[in-house]
Amino acid sequence: MSILIANWKMNPGTEAEAKAMAKYSDQEGVVVCGPLVFLALLKKTLKRAAIGAQDVFWVNGRGPYTGAVSASQLKDLGVEYVIIGHSDQRRYFKETDGEVAKKAAAVIEAGLVPVLCLGETREEREAGQTQEVVDRQLKAVLSQLPEVKKKARLIVCYEPVWAISGNAAGAGLAELAVSQAPEVAVEMIRYMKRVSESFNVDLNFIYGGSAGAENIDALLKQEEIEGFLVGAASLSKRDFEYMVAACRKR
């Protein structure tokens, strides 16, 4: 089965809705990344799916950092995966490559798996900088990996910012996101595989950006893509269940 990671972002609005979503998402091979406020509920409700968080602070353990949550605190709650470097964090919270690298190191040190999001914006794509951006964002993290006893595992999600559903719809790029992003993804994953060969890390490469029920079958034909990070479609029972079934057939 391909890796299927649901990124609920700042959804849903209530605990009752979160419970209903957790139920239909509770499938083997799925990771549910809910907002912090629902992680305890996910722990109680999920029997088959794993739990993921959407962000973390770069200091492990505990300390005087108002508003922050550490990887070790997440681990204690039953979290196994942590999204880092999402374009929402880079854009709204001005997260830098250096901070993403520190977060990845903290997550690995705590024994969790970082899900590193990277990818170019629409402007960067139009300026022909896709590979340059991917290269910079990936190497920033790989070059700062901590020494750990067991080989570190990292999931890298190529997620072109322009292909993310909200951005794509707003900019009239929805068609392009569905038709072209998978091709770019394959090219970028091949590139990232080459770049990461010299680093001592166990990597999986997944894709994010308007992945949904209508294009999952086509995406699954690309064998370089080992899984998906799913935003909007993970909020719909019908769409997400379809995606789980499709990923299971692979």
- When the beta carbons of 72 and 81 are compared against ligand 13P, the nearer one is 81
Which residues, numbered 162-191, are part of the site for ligand 13P (CB under 6 A)? 164-165
Write out the two tokens for 148: 């750990």
Q: Verify whether residue 159 is a known catalytic residue.
A: yes
Q: What is the largest CA-CA distance in the chain?
A: 48
Query: What are the DSSP calls for 85-99, one per residue?
Result: S-HHHHHHS---HHH
Write out the two tokens for 75: 């681990």
Q: What one-letter code names the amino acid at 188?
A: M
Opening angle at CA 39, ends 36 and 45, nearest 5: 155
Stretch that binds ligand 13P, among 58-66, 132-140, 214-222, 226-234 (CB under 6 A): 226-234
3-state secondary structure of 32: strand
Determine the Cα–Cα distance for residues 88 and 135; give it in Å rounded to an integer.
19
Q: What one-letter code names the amino acid at 26?
A: D
Stretch that binds ligand 13P, among 67-75, 98-106, 127-135, 207-215 (CB under 6 A): 207-215
Determine the Cα–Cα distance for residues 209 and 163; give it in Å rounded to an integer.
5
Site for ligand 13P contains 229 (CB under 6 A): yes
Site for ligand 13P contains 243 (CB under 6 A): no
Q: Verify whether residue 187 is a known catalytic residue.
A: no
DSSP state of 28: T
Q: Kindly name the residue from 86, 95, 99, 120 that is annotated as catalytic.
A: 86
Which residues, numbered 74-133, are part of the site for ligand 13P (CB under 6 A)? 86
Determine the Cα–Cα distance for residues 97 and 137; give it in Å rounded to an integer.
6
- When the beta carbons of 90 and 102 are compared against ligand 13P, the nearer one is 90
DSSP state of 9: -
Q: Which of 2, 7, 130, 196 binds ligand 13P (CB under 6 A)?
A: 7
Q: Which of 210, 225, 240, 244 binds ligand 13P (CB under 6 A)?
A: 210
Cβ atoms < 10 Å from Cβ of 249: 9
CB of 209 to ligand 13P, least distance (A): 5
Q: Which of 211, 216, 225, 244 binds ligand 13P (CB under 6 A)?
A: 211
CB of 233 to ligand 13P, least distance (A): 6
Chain positions contacting ligand 13P, by CB under 6 A: 7, 86, 159, 164-165, 208-211, 229-233
Catalytic residues: 86, 159
